[in-house]
A and B are shown apart, each in its own frame.
Chain A
């Protein structure tokens, strides 16, 4: 068991990558606190993993301190922080209104900052720890009409580096994970938009959306949880400030050139 005796907080832990991470962490011996907006899925995951659900909104300044306190009180400390909660709103820079911009930055970038800031004293108390910020390939390359999301996810890559530099001497590591297409409730919304536009099923939309990805498929949430686990565990003890790209090869290809492939 790779996380024996460890305590972790996973934000956005009720669904998608967060839920898969909570399950994997628990299977590897960790005690897990899951946070998120909706109580019901969180409590389901908490019950399943023997963990603790702390519902709340990432934009509420009281939420992160409450989650950290709950972890320390219930499980005796904190070793791992996975900032995974995120929202996706579309829109080019000219289209995005202040409200959507602010909401995206608040949830996706300021939320992780608040969580990490609240967690640092507890990590320092343990003599170190590991922070994993779930960014996106939208933090590395452009997607169309996604100004706020791209800015927030690019910010997370910088935040991970900043944490690595400032807290390395305190034995706290920080890394960013950049997933590509992953089958999650959030990605389902995007797939459904494509499906509606093309008059196809959701599965077919995922296939169309990933046919130019070298691995020719989207990822599962479990595959991303395995990457989070590597970065959270001692197996990566010499890895910090890094950006782990887990995208099936999406960002290494000039995707447009693959459109001429005859691969079905």
Chain B
């Protein structure tokens, strides 16, 4: 482990699986106390147990990022249990696939409310506590699909693309507004990462690799730990002059 987060508390949404779990585990291993927040309490508890078994400190909370009251309860719980919050990882998100002709308003709202409005609601609730603690850092989960449309034939997802494009600009706007409160705000843009995030899409199969190898320059599919490393860097004091940036963690996908 490379970065020193000791004495700092992180609030990680979507911490019950995938990248969120990897980030929570990594930050705890690097000394942070972690509030693991997930819409599924059992998933959040499992992450917290993994951290505790490794000797770290974590508390699990359930909250749907679309629900302001639930987020505020989780925040208050985290403050009560862990004392303060210095880091926020806005990781909770989901993807749905529908062509424009199939896409119903309900599904559009689900994706936009979770991925974009949820990020606003959580930041709205947590940023003031970070400022009160003397400042800190926020990392938002964007995606290479905030920059390019990937495989639109097989993966029609205008709502997902729109939500993540919003995340990219939200990151910049928050960075400007929160700079004077000593809070840096950045985004990571993962490429293909081997998680269960994409419905029915196991990226570790030979068939998946046959497609991905043409786009990934480093010869392998990414792991949640790759993204966790970049998030840990952006939260750390090593990134003290980086704000408003979006860092691709994509094996080189966006390079060409």
Chain A contacts to B: CB under 8 angstroms: 2, 161, 164-165, 168-169, 171, 173, 179-180, 214-216, 219-220, 223-224, 226-227, 229-230, 233, 235-242, 244-249, 251-253, 263
Contact = CB atoms under 8 A, between A and B. Distances in A.
B202 interface: no
Contacts of B219: 168-169, 171
Given A2-B2, A252-B175, 16 more contacts: A161-B256, A168-B219, A169-B219, A171-B218, A226-B237, A227-B238, A233-B2, A235-B230, A235-B233, A238-B222, A242-B254, A244-B247, A246-B242, A246-B245, A252-B172, A252-B176
Contacts of A216: 179-180
B252 A227 contact: no
Given A216-B180, A229-B238, A241 B255 contact: yes
Nearest to A219: B241
Nearest to A213: B179
A178 to B, nearest CB: 9
B217 interface: yes
A223 B241 contact: yes
Given A171-B218, A223-B240, A230-B233, A239 B247 contact: yes
Given A227-B238, A238-B226, A252 B244 contact: yes
B203 interface: no
B81 interface: no
Nearest to A180: B241
B250 interface: yes
16 contacts: A164-B252, A223-B240, A227-B239, A227-B242, A238-B223, A239-B247, A239-B249, A242-B250, A244-B245, A246-B239, A246-B242, A248-B242, A249-B175, A249-B179, A251-B244, A263-B180
A96 B41 CA distance: 64
- Most chain A CB inside 10 Å of its own CB: which residue of B175, B238, B254, B255: B255
Contacts of B241: 179-180, 215, 219-220, 223-224, 227, 246-248
